[in-house]
Amino acid sequence: MRTGLTISAVGHATLLAWAALLASGLFAAKPLDTPPTESMPIDIVSATELSQLRAGKLDAPKAEKPKPLVEKIADAKPQINPAQKVVDKPEIVSSFAPAPTPPPEPKVVEAKRPAEAKAEPKPKVPEKKEADKPDPIAEALKHDEAKSSEPKPDTEPKKVEAKKTETKPETKPEPKKIEAAKPQPKFDATRIAALLDKREAQRQASTGDTISRTPALGTRTGDSPQLSASEIDAFRHKVGTCWNPPAGAPNADRVRVLMTIRLKPDRTLAAPPEVEIAARDASTQAMIDAAVRAIIQCQPYAMFSPQRYDAWKEIPLDFNPVEMFGG
Amino acid sequence: MNNRNSPSSWMLSRRRLLTVAGLSAAGLTVAGVGGGPRRSLAAPRVTITEGNVQPIPIALPDFLGGTPADSELGRNMTQVISADLRRCGLFAPIDPAAFIEKVTNTDAVPNYPNWRAINAQALVVGRLRRQGGDGRLQTEFRLWDVIEGKYLAGQQFVTTPESWRRIAHIIADLIYERLTGDTGYFDTRIVFVDETGPRDRRVKRLAIMDQDGAGVRYLTHGQDLVLTPRFSPSSQELAYMSYGQGDPKVYLLKVETLDREIVGNFPGMSFSPRFSPDNRRVVMSLQQGGNSNIFVMDLQSKATTRLTDTAAIDTAPCYSPAGDRICFESDRGGSQQIYIMPASGGPAERITFGEGSYSTPVWSPRGDFIAFTRIGQGQFAIGVIKPDKSGERIITEGYHNEGPTWAPNGRVLMFFRDPGGNSGPSLYTVDVTGRNEQRVPTPSFASDPAWSPLLTSS
């Protein structure tokens, strides 16, 4: 009887422990944390839209380029508004910060993006600014190129001296209208972690001359402009027509020539192609020579748009004859 | 919701720790793939997979000569080089009439734009000189990459004027090697059976010529029927079979000196022996009764070893370039197919399974393919297959194609084709890809070709 009681007790204890494990959430399904998929820039333009675009309109509003995402000021500003200072600590400047801007501008308050903000770029909607100061976005627009970036999560911490404020979503169609920043910080106990986690914020924030919270297409990791699929296709086709690899050479189906080419804005080579493999035998040397000849012969690469020079000024290439000669 | 501060939660967290540790092995794999270091900031690599394989346009101005006679010789040499490069199918020599610039100094860097303007990718310049005293010919050439604008290769040769044709072939080989990455095959010779006379009374003589058909010499007189000459893969030595009054005899012939040595009488032999890569043994098949078996003979001791002992017909053996395996044809499976076995004998593995019968396998000097003749549906086809049974393809097909032999670089095959009727066989070359079939000029009908190794390397 005593044995039976022990077995029963142990059995029940095991069941209870198992139930407790389940209740603790150990075996609960957890959401799979997947990084956001890299988006591919695609423009769909109908023939009508294209002709209208090219025809133009006299009364059309001024087209502006999308602003790059800038989450904090890159350099230490000479003047800091003490009223907006949250933490009295020296500013931690990112190692990626650009040189300080020449004009000593007043401190620009970083605007927090509303939680409901959409991901699509809204170039005409201005950001929060100080009403009586020069428009920093207008200055940024003069020299900023369109860049891909991801909308920053709401929980992402802010710069040390940046003041957390609430932004009213701008709904008016007038493009230049801006909303004044609220002068006083609003303490929010639920966001205290954001204030404490400064170092991570310094590393992850995009810096620039002017804060711009308008997100553009892309992800946080999308930090370089990329060639579109049609540009890659056109480039690949053109280089393929010039590439005359020596067929039938020993190991010709296994030698892959890796190189990087650098182009000038006029779409010609800025320097000889930089081959990244060693010519260990005559066969490899012949494959390298054929690839280099193709790149030299095929220039200029007219398929690249001059506006997107950053995307194609440096192109890594892989000449892979496996599909041609394999089997 | 969770009572994280309670003792039971603390205990559970320890268990969770253990669980996590237990799962970490599987997790590491995932982390290594998806959660590893951040991807490179560089733009993605653009992969070019499709090229445009076509002959390389090459400019070959006539080699310069100091005297009118040397200029004429230079012109002839350029024509031989140009013909070699054109025949191989990988080069397209540009018509000299299109040249914008006339080369007057072979030491100067060429004016590249003038050559790019005529779409040349490579330029070969050269000159001839006579050495004082003995009158020997000094030939030098330079190969330039016109597109990249750089010097690629160059060499100087001193020889007797009579050897100008060989020098031209050697230069063509060097150009071929530098631009394709493969060893050339122009400085080689072909031994073949020259056939003259009507079909029922053919006179068959052994003959030798350059691979381009020049300089034909006869090695036998035509009294005896000669068959299937086989070159040693490593020396200018030849084995062939001769039918006189009695049994077929196998001879060894040194091509340079025409010294002949009889290997032995072999009743029931239908193909000449083939050499091992080290040139010390020959492998052959001998008919015994209703079947045929494969034997290997040491050329020094003349000792013979049997490699197969079956009731089937095993014949046409050939060594692999490494000398460790032998391919041969056998009907042990019902029809004639190709098999591979170790060079010392042992179990054989069948590698062909197609329709028809497969015969005369020849292992490529590069080792990657075995050429064969396939007979089926009244057609004789020449094809290749990899030793691992993959990649079988027919290269040429017709009424009668037979006797494939490899160029020493393993990328060109020569065979003979007989159109039937009152006509006779001719020699052809074809690329291993099946492209660029070319007829080889011979003085009369020709069959049973055997390609020599490179003269310069032997």
Q: Above 70 in pLDDT, residue B101?
A: yes
CB nearest B50 (choices: A221, A240, A282): A240
Which residue do the tokens 């711009």 mark? A212
pLDDT mean over A305-318: 86
For residue B318, the model assigns a pLDDT of 93
* Contacts B152 to A, Cβ<8 Å: 289
Q: Above 50 in pLDDT, residue B22?
A: no
Q: Which pLDDT band, with edges at 50, 70 and 90, does A282 fall under?
A: confident
What ipTM does this complex have? 0.73
B454 to chain A nearest CA, in Å?
17
CATH number for region B189-451: 2.120.10.30
pTM: 0.66
For residue B329, the model assigns a pLDDT of 92
B47 to chain A nearest CA, in Å?
5
* Contacts B51 to A, Cβ<8 Å: 240, 243-245, 290, 294, 319, 321, 324
User: Which carries the bigger pLDDT value, residue A100 or residue A29?
Assistant: A29
* Contacts A244 to B, Cβ<8 Å: 51-54, 56
Contact B296, B308 (CB under 8 A): no
CB nearest A244 (choices: B53, B178, B433): B53
- pLDDT tens for A143-184 read 655 444 444 444 444 443 444 444 444 444 454 444 555 556
* Contacts B145 to A, Cβ<8 Å: 289, 293
* Contacts A289 to B, Cβ<8 Å: 145, 148, 152, 179
**Residues in B 294-313 with any Cβ partner in A closer than 8 A:** none
* Contacts A240 to B, Cβ<8 Å: 48-52
Determine the residue among B9, B48, B411 to mutate to test chain A binding: the one whose Cβ has the most chain A Cβ atoms within 10 Å: B48
Region of poorest pLDDT, from A287-301, B244-258, B390-404: B244-258
Which residue do the tokens 């509003």 mark? A61
Contact A83, A192 (CB under 8 A): no
> Does any CB of chain A come closer than 8 Å to the CB of residue B117?
no
Residue in chain A lying closest to B40 (CA): A221
User: Which carries the bigger pLDDT value, residue B377 or residue A170?
Assistant: B377
* Contacts A293 to B, Cβ<8 Å: 121, 145, 147-148
CA dihedral A287, A289, A295, A299 (to 10 degrees): -150
pLDDT mean over B182-196: 92
* Contacts B92 to A, Cβ<8 Å: none
Region of poorest pLDDT, from A319-323, B85-89, B167-171, B177-181: A319-323
Region of poorest pLDDT, from B63-77, B180-194, B280-294: B280-294
CA distances from B354 to A218, B133, B350, B368, B389 (A): 56, 65, 11, 19, 11
A46-50, A193-197, B208-212 — most confident range: B208-212
Q: Above 60 in pLDDT, residue B332?
A: yes
CB contact under 8 A, B179 and A246: yes
* Contacts B52 to A, Cβ<8 Å: 240-244
> Does any CB of chain A come closer than 8 Å to the CB of residue B433?
yes
CA distances from A185 to A85, A182, A189 (A): 8, 7, 12
- pLDDT tens for B108-134 read 899 999 999 998 999 999 999 988 778
Q: Can you list the alpha helix ranges (DSSP code H) found in A131-255? A: 136-143, 192-196, 198-204, 229-242
For residue A89, the model assigns a pLDDT of 60
A72 to chain B nearest CA, in Å?
21
CB nearest A316 (choices: B2, B43, B391): B43
User: Where do you find CATH 3.30.1150.10 in chain A?
Assistant: 229-325
Rounded Cα gap, residues B241 and B228, in angstroms: 7
Superfamily name and number for B56-180: TolB, N-terminal domain (3.40.50.10070)
Q: Above 50 in pLDDT, residue B26?
A: no
CB contact under 8 A, A319 and B180: no
For residue A78, the model assigns a pLDDT of 52
- pLDDT tens for A207-237 read 666 666 665 555 555 545 567 788 888 898 9
Q: Tell me the three state secondary structure of residue B154.
A: strand
CB contact under 8 A, A321 and B49: yes
- pLDDT tens for A243-262 read 988 876 667 677 889 999 99
A180 to chain B nearest CA, in Å?
37
Q: Above 70 in pLDDT, residue A312?
A: yes
How many beta-carbon pairs below 8 A join chains A and B? 137
pLDDT mean over B78-89: 93
For residue B411, the model assigns a pLDDT of 87
Q: Above 70 in pLDDT, residue A290?
A: yes
* Contacts B148 to A, Cβ<8 Å: 272, 289, 292-293, 296
CB contact under 8 A, B432 and A322: no
* Contacts B433 to A, Cβ<8 Å: 247-248
Residue in chain B lying closest to A319 (CA): B48
Determine the residue among B41, B46, B112, B369 to mutate to test chain A binding: the one whose Cβ has the most chain A Cβ atoms within 10 Å: B46
Q: Above 70 in pLDDT, residue B36?
A: no
Query: Cα B330 vs. chain centroid, distance in angstroms?
Result: 25
CATH number for region A229-325: 3.30.1150.10
User: Which carries the bigger pLDDT value, residue A35 or residue B378?
Assistant: B378
> Does any CB of chain A come closer than 8 Å to the CB of residue B118?
no
Q: Above 90 in pLDDT, residue B62?
A: yes
Q: Which helix (DSSP H) or strand (DSSP E) does residue B374 occupy?
A: strand B370-376
For residue A62, the model assigns a pLDDT of 63
Contact A210, A140 (CB under 8 A): yes
* Residues paired with B237 in a beta bridge: B254
Strands (E), B106-236: 122-130, 137-145, 150-159, 189-196, 203-210, 217-218, 225-231
> The tokens of B348 are what?
């054989």
Question: Helix/strand/coil (H, E, C) string of A39-86?
Answer: CCCCCCCCHHHHHHHHHCCCCCCCCCCCCCCECEECCCCCCCCHHHCC
> The tokens of A270 are what?
């800025």
| Average pLDDT over all residues of chain A | 66
Q: What is the torsional sign of CA A156, A158, A160, A165?
A: negative
Domain boundaries, chain B: 56-180, 189-451
Q: Above 50 in pLDDT, residue A37?
A: yes
> Does any CB of chain A come closer than 8 Å to the CB of residue B4?
no
The percentage of residues in chain B with a pLDDT greater than 70, rounded to a whole number, is 90
Q: Which pLDDT band, with edges at 50, 70 and 90, does A38 fall under?
A: low
